[in-house]
Amino acid sequence: MGVMRIGHINIRVLDMDAALHHYGKVLGLQQSDTDAVGNAYLKGWDEWDKYSVMLTPADRAGMNHIAYKVENDADLDVLGKRIRDYGIDVEEVSPGELAYCGRAIRFWLPSGHLMYLYAAKEFVGKAVGTTNPDPWPDGLQGAGVHWLDHALLMCELDPEKGVNKVAEVTTFMQEVLEFKLTEQVMVGPDADVQAATWLARTSTPHDIAFVGGPVMGLHHCAFFLDEWADVLKAADVLAKNKVKIDVTPQRHGITRGTTSYFFDPSGNRNETFAGLGYLGQPDMPVITWTEENLGSGIFYHTGELNEAFTEVYTEGA
């Protein structure tokens, strides 16, 4: 089957206590472990593997790597060969080297981001279990996010220099990892520059997205909530906790998700994202947003992009 879903994101944080308060008490992820070198591992209450967020203490914010889970161990061999045949070096990662995971493969995306694929991660189970489960667990903290939903990675885009890492990484994701393109933004005088893309392996509108900018980086990682009212309530929780809010609750034209953006204490952007938007079935036609309507694609109500949103982000490697 190949790539199944997003597995985890490894984010660098400047102050671990502040980060644990943010991701734990405010977002409501549950801490599952810490290791000898000070990394912390957290999961959403609705997730079953050991962690979806790995926090690493560092002196600069940003993303170390992103990891996707494949269905079978043999997928690692099949995909590893396909990635090598495409001309990208692939490193074998022995079991345990990627924390709590079985063997993995590691490679640099054409955008310059480090990606891992793994087939097995230590199982801990959902907070509500699997026998006659309640719809949500007692003792949820803060926003009570369900799971890590997607990440949006910034890619170098400079059409004048002929550089378009969005298009390069999107082609790789489609042709090699068999992601489905659900939505794209086309810009330029001939509308032939692919400036942003949303791609999925599951039937959600996106499991990953790429947007063009001056330098590569991490724009945000997003956490799932059931519905619009939960996004509103989550923003209340953020405000109560004096979290720096970037974008108050509203709707995306692209993906139709309801959304709010904010920063962790290190300056990494997070999103709460609700609703499945639509089902990205394999035969769904690609949705295209034109340059004139890009603002509505991102913020449907105002139709206006702001520079603080598009130009502020953390490092991607």
The answer to whether residue 252 is catalytic is yes
Q: How far is the CB of 70 from ligand M3P (least distance, A)?
A: 23
Is 220 catalytic? The answer is yes
Q: Could you say which of 116, 206, 219, 313 is catalytic? A: 206
Cα angle 215, 217, 222; round to 5:
145
Where along the sequence are the contacts to ligand M3P (CB under 6 A)? 152, 209, 211, 219, 222, 252, 254-255, 257, 271, 273, 298, 310
Residue pair 151/268 in contact (Cβ under 8 Å)? The answer is: no
Q: Is 206 a catalytic residue?
A: yes
Q: Nearest distance from residue 240's CB to ligand M3P, in Å?
A: 24
Q: Which of 271, 289, 298, 316 binds Fe ion (CB under 5 A)?
A: 271
Choosing among ligand M3P, Fe ion, none, which partner's interface includes residue 219 (Cβ < 5 to 8 Å by kind)? ligand M3P
Looking at 22, 41, 271, 313, which residue is catalytic? 271
Which position among 100, 116, 261, 313 bears the catalytic label?
261
Does residue 287 touch Fe ion according to CB under 5 A?
no
The nearest distance, CB 309 to ligand M3P, in angstroms, is 7
Question: Binding to Fe ion by residue 225, rule CB under 5 A?
Answer: no
- Contact segment (CB under 5 A) with Fe ion among 60-68, 94-102, 150-158, 309-317 equals 150-158
Q: Which residues form the catalytic set? A: 150, 206, 220, 252, 261, 271
Residues near Fe ion (CB under 5 A): 152, 222, 271
